[in-house]
Structures are given as structure tokens and as C-alpha cells.
Amino acid sequence: MKVTIDGQSIDVEPGTTILQAARMIGGESVPPAMCYYTKLKGSGGKCRCCLVEVAKGSDNDPRPMPKLMASCVTGCQDGMEINSTASERVQDARKSVTEFLLINHPLDCPVCDQAGECDLQNLSFKHGKSQTRYIEKKRTFEPEDIGPNIQLHMNRCILCYRCVMVADQLTDDRVHGVMDRGDHSNISTCISKAITNEFSGNMIDVCPVGALTDKTFRFKSRVWFNKPFDAHRECTTPGCCGKTTVWMFGNEIQRVTGRKDEFHEVDNFICNTCRFDKKEVSDWTIEGPRKFEKFSVINQNNYTRELDTVIIETEKGILKGRDQDRKKISMPQVPLSETEKEVFTEGNI
């Protein structure tokens, strides 16, 4: 089957979704996806970030689809023509969804462990605005302790349902889910139960935002200060491949995650033993540096670039600024008009 996305054509198997086809093409036309996750059955369709315009339904039925379609759950048809980045309507919709996702999202990136590898940050960077139109109080939730390994920060959650699907599909004893409804929907165990299943740690990897983070890594480092390496070990947990990325600071393994591809999806799910308990270099066979996509902030700490020493001349700099400000405010080079002189000297009240 042939489909065309933003003018680029590709042959795909029946059953391929538009998003999958776009990912095969790669580049700018790939729609952002906050809830769809290839390895989780039934995921997708919820965040509405990946909306695209179907300009031609198929060769058999060339009518355009009236509504924008969620590319992650819409199957390709032979001859289908799709506008993604090329469509202004689509760009507008992505901007809208970004705004909706951000209105209640806390502005706590500076203290969020996900910062630097956050899909919502990336989405905002590309489709967000620097101003907010939302002046109401942001929604907050009571903190809930879900055990020693996983930190739940509900205020950051965008309700992608991925973690629920991980619990459903990777474990047989799901103890958390989505409670309540509407804008009060929240991820919870309802009874503050520890989520301890051996594969529960994958909830952290699939979480697109900082709602589920690794408690054993909490506040240890910014992700871009770590050096990621691919590593493996002989893991005895049934179902775990033992292939991971270890995040090092000097000789210390600060964090272990699954290996994520350019769409931030893990190649394989890993067990909690690998993730939380194996933090010694001797636990692992290090394969080599893990590569990230070109624009990832993680590359800030890449392996080759030399950094110049940064000298910050605090006091001097501040005074310099003050001097400049003083000049700007008084604007001595612009002579005052007669009325202005009067106002400045006598006031206008």
C-alpha cells in the first residue's frame, strides 16, 4: 500500500498506522506522540498531539476526512494522502493540544528529574508559546507514596494511560489505575499501596513526563550531566533481557533505564532488579556510549567536546547591568520636551 505524508511517499504493509508510516519516513513529518507506545497494546488516541489531516482517504474513496485524525490509531489506506507538518490546521491543532496539556502542568522543570528527556518539554519547545492565557489556579493533587522505587508526582501527569497498560500487560497484579474523572482524573492506587511488581519500574520509562520517576535517582543529577552507556548483564529474572542503559557520573552508576530509541520508546522492558538494585559498575558489562538524537539535550554532555572554563564575574557584572539600566531609564541623550520637563519637575497630579 502506498501512502503519502507531506508529499513523501512510502510503501507500507496493511495494518500500518499513519504514525508508524511517518516514523518510517522520519524527519520533520513525524507527528509528536505523548500517549501512543508501540509496545503497549491499546495505547494511543488520547493525547491528540498526533492529529493529522487526511487530504485523500484512499484511491478507492478519495474523499478527504472532515476531522483531523489521530495518526497513531488511524490505519493507512492504499493511496492515502496525509498532511502533517505541511498543514496549518494540523499545526494549529498541535499548538492547541500543547496549550491544553500545559495549563495545569506545573512549571517545575527546574526541579523535575524528567527535565532533559521529557516529551512534554520537547512538545512545548516545538509547539508551545512563551506566554500563558490561563490565569486560574492550577489543579493539584495530594501526594501519594507508591513505594520505595517509584516517585509519583500526579500534578505532572498528562493521563496517557501508558503506566496502567504496563501494569496490565507486563504484570499480573495491577494495583494502580485511573481514579475519578474529568480534569480530576488521577493515577493512584487509591489505598497508597506500594507498587512492587518486578516489572513495575517500566512505568518510569514509559511515562512521557515527570509523573513517574526513579526514586533511587531522585535529585541526584540532571540527566544531561550523566554519561549514558549501553550495558548488559546476565539477568535471571524471567522475561528480562538484561540489556539496559546505565547513566554514569564519574565511576558511579546513578541510574539504570531501558534503552530508548529516537521516539523515546524502550527496545526491551527490563526488570526492577536491573533497574534499581544493580548500581555497581561490576554488575554490568559496559558496551559503549549510548547515542541520542541530534538535538537531545543529553548531548550537552557528549564525550568529545571540550568545554572552556566559565568565569562568572558576579559583582562586576551586576554593577555593569545597573549602570546600563540607569542610563537607559534616564535617557540623557534624548532631550525632554517642555511639557515633559514640567511634569517631571512638578508632577502631573
Closest CA to 49 of 64, 67, 39, 36: 36
Segment 4-10 long-range contacts (CB within 8 Å, at least 24 positions apart): 4/80, 4/81, 4/82, 5/29, 5/52, 5/82, 5/83, 5/84, 6/82, 6/83, 6/84, 6/85, 6/86, 7/86
DSSP H or E segment with residue 230: strand 227-232
Among residues 132 and 300, whose Cβ is nearest to another protein? 132
The answer to whether residue 76 forms part of the interface with another protein (CB under 8 A) is: no
By CB under 8 A, the residues from 299 to 328 that bind another protein are none
Please give the angle made by the CA atoms of 99, 105 and 111, to the nearest 5 degrees.
130
By CB under 8 A, the residues from 170 to 209 that bind another protein are 173-185, 189-191
Among residues 134 and 344, whose Cβ is nearest to another protein? 134
Stretch that binds another protein, among 131-139, 260-268, 325-333, 336-344 (CB under 8 A): 131-139
DSSP H or E segment with residue 257: strand 252-257
CB of 236 to another protein, least distance (A): 28
Strand partners, 213: 151
- Candidates 131, 133, 333, 346: give the one binding another protein (CB under 8 A): 133
Residue 321 has phi, psi (to 5 degrees) of -60, -45
CB of 191 to another protein, least distance (A): 6
Among residues 103 and 297, whose Cβ is nearest to another protein? 103
- Candidates 67, 294, 316, 328: give the one binding another protein (CB under 8 A): 67
Per-residue cell: 156: 505532572
Site string for another protein, 207-246 (x = CB under 8 A): ----------------------------------------
Among residues 176 and 259, whose Cβ is nearest to another protein? 176
**Residue numbers of the site for another protein (CB under 8 A)?**
44-49, 51, 67-68, 70, 73, 93, 96-97, 99-101, 103-104, 133-134, 136, 139, 142, 158-159, 161, 173-185, 189-191
